Structure 1
Amino acid sequence: MKKYELKKHLHECLRREVMMSDKPFSWARTIHKAIKCPERRFNFWWRIVSFLYKNDSKLLKKLARRINRKLIQKYHTEIQPGTAIGPGLTVSHFLSVVINECTVIGCNFKIRQNSTIGISGRPGCATPARIIIGDNVEVGAGTCIIGDALIIGSNVTIGAMSFINKDIPGNSVVYTEKSLIIRTR
């Protein structure tokens, strides 16, 4: 991405996630909301991290990694700096959320606590390790999405405690069926 496109993306993400307004982007309003509304601070800082990391400067990448480590310590949420996420990111509960940087996520993505999105890391994988997630996707609590070349379409809802290792077509509701067996003695 070019520097202008990165800056435009940063402004749009901050406008939608931190300002939460249809008004034009402004640093003053964004910083005011980041200070006033603690639930928006993670998005503010992670978007800054992502912007710094995607620049060509080694110094900015190092700064981005350092800020991201602080975010991980404070929020217990690890979204790697190289992850591409469209505007509208929502993390419902900041607890044990992990997203690998080989993930490309569309707009209006919502993820809940104890969820992981990552590559399997199998040696000798023929395809490039990438997980592509479309727009308007919701991931339920305790979900694990693991694969090397997964595509999850747009408008998908993934139920809580699901294990996903196959492609999911758009406009779907997906969950891993569970059964509870109680035996009395």
Structure 2
Amino acid sequence: MRVWQPFKQKMNSMNPDLAELKQHLHLCLQREVMKSDKPFAWRRVWRAYRHFPERRFYFWWRLASFWYHCGNERARKRALRINEKLRARYGLDIKLGARIGAGLRVSHYVGIVISQRSVIGENLHIKQNVTIGVKNLQQQGGVYIGDNVDIGANSCIIGDDIHIGNNVTIGAMTFINKDIPDNCKVYNKRETTISL
């Protein structure tokens, strides 16, 4: 079941439907916390949460993101408090305004920054010290990343209205400030010779 495309369309409007937000939350928890094809159930999520501590980040960030996008002021404040605790505990800063599809995988949490102006598809695999952001908050566009994207360590994606296609692999230590089409591998070629 593909929820991301309708979810992306809804999230691009200012009034997302609560039922679609819940459906997206359940899909994300099923794929990231339960890691199972079994139907979503809160008891299965809770069991995986208790038995697999490495999945707890996904649980809390997805709940905080859901509460943040619901629009209720009290829920937004609770979401921001949770995100502050996640930032302190894991050493990363994924803004709650970011819209990330199901299947998020973080190899190492340290140093990851994702802007609130990011719209990211399903199955993002991200490694340590990656920045996905915009030049400034006054700009109109954001960063749009498709499905099945793998971002290597120490990479930086910054710009205004950047589109990265589906099935893209971005190599380690790569700087991206232009659009990337589907089905590509991108890396910066660096050669350094140190003579002794």
Q: CA deviation at 1:21?
A: 0.3
Q: CA deviation at 1:177?
A: 0.8
1:171 counterpart = 2:183 = yes
Other-structure match for 1:55: 70
1:99 counterpart = 2:114 = yes
For these two proteins, the number of residue pairs brought into alignment is: 181
Q: CA deviation at 1:34?
A: 1.1
Other-structure match for 1:153: 165
**Deviations, residues 119-154 of structure 1 (Å, cap 9, x unaligned):** 01186x5xx121100000000000010001100000
Other-structure match for 2:9: none
1:121 counterpart = 2:136 = yes
**Deviations, residues 58-114 of structure 1 (Å, cap 9, x unaligned):** 110011000000000000111101110100000100101000010000000010001
Which of 86, 89, 100 is matched with 2:104 structurally?
Answer: 89
Alignment gaps of 5+ in structure 1: none
Other-structure match for 1:43: 58
User: What is the CA–CA distance in structure 2 between the aligned matches of 1:131 and 1:41, rounded to whole Å?
Assistant: 26
Partner secondary structure for residue 145 of structure 1: strand
1:143 counterpart = 2:155 = yes
C-alpha root-mean-square deviation of aligned residues, in Å? 1.0
Q: Supply the AA of the counterpart residue of 1:154.
A: N
Partner secondary structure for residue 78 of structure 2: helix
TM-score, normalised to structure 1, is: 0.95
User: What is the CA–CA distance in structure 2 between the aligned matches of 1:35 and 1:75, rounded to whole Å?
Assistant: 18
User: What is the CA–CA distance in structure 1 between the aligned matches of 2:177 and 2:129, rounded to whole Å?
Assistant: 17
Partner secondary structure for residue 54 of structure 1: helix
TM-score, normalised to structure 2, is: 0.90
User: What is the CA–CA distance in structure 1 between the aligned matches of 2:125 and 2:17, rounded to whole Å?
Assistant: 27
Alignment gaps of 5+ in structure 2: 1-15
User: What is the CA–CA distance in structure 2 between the aligned matches of 1:25 and 1:142, rounded to whole Å?
Assistant: 35
Percent of aligned pairs sharing the same letter: 51
Q: Supply the AA of the counterpart residue of 1:142.
A: N
User: What is the CA–CA distance in structure 1 between the aligned matches of 2:194 and 2:54, rounded to whole Å?
Assistant: 40
Other-structure match for 1:4: 19
